[in-house]
Amino acid sequence: MKKDFLILLHMRIVLILFLGDCIYGGMYKGVYGYTREKLFPMIDEIFDCDADHYIVSHENIFDKEGITDLLNQLKTAGEVVGK
C-alpha cells in the first residue's frame, strides 16, 4: 500500500529587538535623561540594527517606521534641548 505524504513547513524569520528602558536614559542629578554624547550614538546604533519589530518598555511594539519616527523625535528633542 503506497501513501503519499506532503509536509509543508513555512518558517518566517522575525527579527525582534528588545530595547527595554534604554531609550529613557539614566538619572543624572535627579533628572532622567541622556546627554547628547550618549543619546545620538545610541540612536545610530539602534538604526543600524536590522529588525522587524522593536520592543520598548512602557510602549506599544513598534515596526521599523514607528521606531524611526520615535527616535527621530527623540533626536530632535536632544538637538533642541542641547546638553
Q: What would the pLDDT profile of 43-75 be if each residue is shown by its tens digit?
A: 999 999 989 999 998 889 999 999 999 999 999
In a domain, 73, yes or no: yes
In a domain, 21, yes or no: yes
Q: Domains in the chain: how many in total? A: 1
In a domain, 10, yes or no: no
Assign 74 to helix, strand or coil: helix
Cβ neighbours for 44, distance < 8 A, ≥ 6 positions apart: none
In a domain, 56, yes or no: yes
Distance from C-alpha of 48 to C-alpha of 43, rounded to nearest angstrom: 9
In a domain, 23, yes or no: yes
pLDDT number for residue 23: 83
In a domain, 36, yes or no: yes
Nearest-CA neighbor of 66 among 17, 14, 21, 30?
Answer: 17
User: In degrees, to the nearest 5, what angle opens at C-alpha 50 toward C-alphas 77 and 80?
Assistant: 10
Q: Output the pTM of the full model.
A: 0.73
In a domain, 47, yes or no: yes
To the nearest whole percent, how much of the chain has pLDDT over 90? Answer: 40
In a domain, 4, yes or no: no
For residue 32, the enclosing domain spans: 16-81
For residue 81, what pLDDT band results from cuts at 50, 70 and 90?
A: confident
